[in-house]
Structure formats: C-alpha cells, structure tokens
C-alpha cells in the first residue's frame, strides 16, 4: 500500500450492506467499510447501536477482509432507546441478535448494558476504534468520550455520529469544536454528520494517509463518500436504493405526548412493535405524574391505509372511551381522510412515511379522576394496507409528492372554482389516492411472490449478504 490514500486500494467499499430502519446511519456505511480496512483494529467498540446498521456493516467488513482472528467487535447498548433516538421495547435487540449471532457471533458481542456499567469489561488501552452514538446532548457526548478515553489504545480513532445536527438539543457539533483544540478533526456533513478524530499518537499509517487527503481536499473527500452513500439511500426520498439489502420495515406504533407549550419529540414518546395482522390494540402507559394535554398516534412510519377505531383512557379502576368520530374537532389527521361509516372510526390514507392522528385530551383527564394513578391510553388501530417494501415505499413517496402538487393547485383554485366543481375534484383526488395505494399493495404482493420463487431456486452460497456488490 502506498503512502497516499487511494480509494481504489479499498474495494471493500463495494460491499452490499444489510440495513434496517431507521436509516440515519446508512449514508456512512461506505466510510465504515473503508475505516475497517484502514485501521484493522484489534478491538472495535460501539456505544449506541439501536437496530445495528453501523455495527453490522463493520462486522461485515471485518469478515470480508479476513480479520476475524485479530478483530473483536463490541456493541454496547441498553436497547431501550433514549430521548433522541426514541424509546422502544426488547424486539429491536432480539431482531439484531438473531441476525448478528449466526453470521458474526464468533468475533462480535452484543453487550446489553448502560455505557458506564460496561466500562469495567474493557481493559485500559485496549480499544483501537470507538464509535460514540448514544444520547447526543453536549453533556452526554462529552461524558462518554471522557469516561472511555482511558480505554483507548495509542493507535485509537474515535468517530461521532450526528455532528451536523444543530437542533433538538443535540450537542455533538459543540463538542467537535472543543476537540479541535487538542486533536485533528475531520467531519462528513451528510447523513446527520460524522466526526472522525485520531486520538492516539500512533494511528496506522494508512489512516494517517486518509487524514492527510481529507484535510487537504475536504470537499472532494466528502463528495466521494456522499456519492457512495447515494448508492445506498435515495437522496430525494431517503429510502433504500438498489445498493443495499434492505429489510422490510417492521410496523412500529409510536405515541408522542406533550402539554400546552411543548412540542412532540422523542424525549416524550413510547413505542410498541405491531406483531402482525390487520387489527391491533395498543396500551401506552404513562408515569403517575404524566397526564398529557395532547397525544400523537403514528400507527406506522410507512405509507398505507389506517383506521383509528378506538381511543380509551384508563386510570386506576376508572375508564373512559373517546369515540374516534370522523371530523371530530378533538382529532387532527396527517393524511387524506377516506369516506367511512361513523362506526368505522377515522379512516385515512398516507403515501408518505409520517401518517399520524393528533388527539386533544384537554379536560378529559379531569373527568376520569384518580389523580396520582398511572394512566393509560388504549388505542384500537386497523391496518388495512401497509407498504412495507422499501422499494415500493420510495414509489409511494414520489406519488405523495406528485399528489401534494395537485393539492397545492387545488388550493390556488379554491377561490376560482365553484364549490360543486371543487367538491368533484376532491372526490376524484381521493379516488386517485385509493387507486395509487391499491397498485402499490398489489406490486408488493407480486414482489413477495417473486422473491419466494427465487428463494426456492437460488443457491445457498452468498446468502448472508457478505459478498461484494456486482
């Protein structure tokens, strides 16, 4: 290998990754592949793994490079979520473990623990690559860096995700500025940003060559890896493209809650994985001191047709039902309402990835009584059609963009068109929406049938997704 960094010396960048939602880290996977080749570390530790896109990519590169005998990878996470990622149940860990163990279990370990509690499992001076991607407040990221600093080896490199995020109380960007006073720092700006910091005095020569190239030609370096990222995620829709092996999105029902004067955010959210089927009942329990004024129900982060058929409140032994009546002022829908009988609840369609219903609970808790008791919102949701295929999700997002243009046109014509004509146009728009979704659902069924046929005839070799993209 020459003393200069040349991307052609690292064909590992062309591996095809296995990715799952959420996709915020996916854009940095090409760099993660190259980083594995540049560093060839003895020990890689990731703080904050979630569904595992970054961790699995590094393990994949280790295996492709034949480093299993010298590199061990550790993912440290409580797998409960946080105020910046979201809060979730144990299924995220179980899904990751079921993929990781049979493929990479001989050289990788999932450490289910809080970061501080896991410190004692690692010797001082033993970690060659540390990835910090936990809670992203300034205090949290600084604490993680300083507490794990003694564990780093003389050849250590540290990477920080979300260095380009400046809202939601993220403080990684602020900490990057502080680190520049002591260390050389390079940052990628795409996919929420990634800070790259050689901390040890004796990092490998191959990595030094990369840093020289990156620091002398930062825009060109960023452009190269942004282009590689575009092969994995469509820059326009944010959905997986053909360069990645994307797992169908699991259906996750989210509830955000807030009081007047607050905003909906991950810090006040609860998550339940939908086990399958068309109908589901979810129970979201709040702490005893929480009786929010407003809740927001996201039945899934997927295009589809949904019905909210039941909204119930429970505190202690008292219960109350709020009938989900179409058009009721208590409910606000982010999606297109569809005609339905009153007893069917609120039925709506969404071609984008953010369908939700906001519910105003002001004045309702007082009627329920039982102050000081833990309170629960009980939801009945019918999943009529849900687009889980990543490829078809991208089609749906583009369809949503086209329909939004039609809506904007309708809005401009509102003052010009007679009411009867406008009503006819709206009905036609709803019919077009239902037809678009029916086409997507049929396409997904055809895709699943074709995949099943291929699975029955294709050879087993290469099935673990560890081969280079062709």
DSSP conformation letters of 249-265: PP-EEEEEEE-TT----
Clarify whether residues 96 and 73 are in a common domain. yes
Tokens of 198: 């050689």
Range of the domain at 86: 10-246
- Among 386, 414, 434, give the residue marking a domain's end: 386
Helix (H) or strand (E) holding 29: helix 29-39
- Among 224, 246, 268, give the residue marking a domain's end: 246
Q: What pLDDT does 460 receive?
A: 41
Would residue 466 count as lying in a domain? no
Q: What pLDDT does 458 receive?
A: 46
Clarify whether residues 258 and 367 are in a common domain. yes
Would residue 1 count as lying in a domain? no
Distance CA 115, CA 144 (A): 8
Would residue 332 count as lying in a domain? yes
Clarify whether residues 41 and 152 are in a common domain. yes
Clarify whether residues 236 and 268 are in a common domain. no
Q: What pLDDT does 326 receive?
A: 62
Q: Per the omega criterion (within 30 degrees of 0), is the bond before 388 cis?
A: no
Clarify whether residues 65 and 163 are in a common domain. yes
Clarify whether residues 260 and 202 are in a common domain. no
Clarify whether residues 205 and 333 are in a common domain. no
Q: What pLDDT does 2 receive?
A: 54
Q: What pLDDT does 341 receive?
A: 63
Would residue 463 count as lying in a domain? no
Q: Which of 158, 124, 122, 125 has its CA nearest to residue 39? A: 158
Clarify whether residues 279 and 240 are in a common domain. no
DSSP conformation letters of 394-429: HHHHHHHHHHHHHHHHHHHHTTTS-HHHHHHHHHHH
CATH of the domain at 144: 3.40.50.150
Clarify whether residues 396 and 373 are in a common domain. no
- pTM here is 0.68
Q: What are the residue ranges in the chain where pLDDT is below 50? A: 1, 84, 458-470
Q: pLDDT tens for residues 281-328?
A: 999 988 777 889 999 999 988 888 999 988 888 887 788 888 766 666
Q: What pLDDT does 172 receive?
A: 94
Angstrom distances, CA of residue 262 to CA of 167, 259, 265, 276, 459 = 15, 6, 9, 33, 54
Would residue 188 count as lying in a domain? yes
Clarify whether residues 129 and 228 are in a common domain. yes
Q: How many structural domains is the chain composed of?
A: 3
Would residue 2 count as lying in a domain? no
- Among 246, 273, 302, give the residue marking a domain's end: 246
Would residue 462 count as lying in a domain? no
Would residue 440 count as lying in a domain? yes
Tokens of 60: 């994949």
Q: Which of 270, 269, 133, 268 has its CA nearest to residue 192? A: 133
Clarify whether residues 242 and 276 are in a common domain. no
Helix (H) or strand (E) holding 212: helix 205-216
Q: What pLDDT does 23 receive?
A: 87
Angstrom distances, CA of residue 386 to CA of 93, 111, 197, 303, 444 = 24, 34, 42, 6, 10
Distance CA 130, CA 137 (A): 18
CATH of the domain at 322: 2.60.120
Clarify whether residues 83 and 190 are in a common domain. yes
């Amino acid at each position: 290998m020459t003393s200069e960094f040349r991307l052609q010396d690292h064909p590992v960048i062309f591996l095809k990754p296995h990715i799952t939602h959420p996709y915020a880290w996916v854009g940095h996977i090409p760099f993660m592949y190259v980083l594995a080749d540049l560093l060839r570390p003895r020990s890689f530790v990731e703080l904050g793994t979630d569904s595992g896109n970054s961790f699995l990519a590094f393990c994949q590169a280790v295996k492709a490079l034949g480093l299993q005998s010298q590199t061990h990878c550790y993912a440290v996470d409580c797998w409960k979520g946080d105020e910046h990622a979201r809060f979730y149940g144990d299924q995220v860990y179980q899904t990751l473990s079921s993929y990781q163990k049979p493929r990479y279990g001989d050289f990788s370990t999932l450490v289910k623990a809080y970061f501080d509690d896991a410190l004692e499992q690692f010797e001082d001076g033993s970690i060659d690559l540390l990835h910090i991607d936990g809670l992203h407040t300034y205090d949290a990221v600084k604490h993680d860096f300083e507490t794990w600093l003694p564990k780093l080896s003389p050849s250590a490199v540290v990477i920080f995700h979300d260095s380009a995020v400046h809202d939601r109380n993220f403080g990684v960007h602020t900490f990057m500025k502080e680190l520049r006073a002591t260390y050389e720092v390079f940052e990628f700006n795409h996919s929420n940003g990634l800070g790259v910091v050689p901390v040890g005095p004796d990092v490998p020569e191959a990595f030094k060559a990369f840093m020289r190239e990156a620091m002398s030609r930062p825009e060109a370096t960023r452009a190269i890896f942004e282009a590689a990222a575009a092969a994995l995620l469509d820059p326009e829709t944010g959905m997986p493209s053909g360069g990645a092996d994307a797992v169908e999105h699991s259906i996750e029902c989210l509830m955000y809650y807030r009081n007047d004067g607050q905003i909906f955010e991950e810090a006040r959210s609860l998550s339940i994985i939908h086990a399958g089927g068309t109908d589901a009942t979810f129970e979201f329990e709040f702490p005893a001191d929480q009786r929010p004024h407003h809740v927001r129900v996201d039945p899934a982060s997927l295009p589809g047709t949904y019905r909210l058929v039941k909204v119930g409140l429970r505190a202690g032994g008292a219960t109350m039902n709020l009938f989900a009546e179409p058009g009721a002022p208590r409910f606000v829908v982010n999606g297109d309402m569809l005609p339905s009988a009153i007893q069917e609840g609120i039925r709506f369609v969404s071609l984008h990835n953010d369908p939700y219903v906001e519910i105003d609970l002001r004045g309702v808790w007082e009627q329920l009584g039982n102050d000081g008791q833990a309170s629960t919102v009980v939801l009945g949701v019918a999943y009529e059609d849900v687009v889980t295929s990543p490829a078809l999700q991208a089609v749906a997002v583009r369809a949503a963009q086209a329909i939004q243009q039609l809506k904007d046109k309708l809005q401009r014509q509102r003052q010009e068109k007679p009411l009867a004509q406008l009503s006819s146009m709206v009905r036609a728009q709803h019919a077009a929406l239902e037809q678009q979704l029916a086409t997507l659902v049929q396409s997904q069924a055809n895709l699943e049938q074709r995949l099943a046929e291929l699975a029955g005839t294709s050879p087993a070799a290469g099935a673990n997704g560890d081969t280079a993209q062709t």
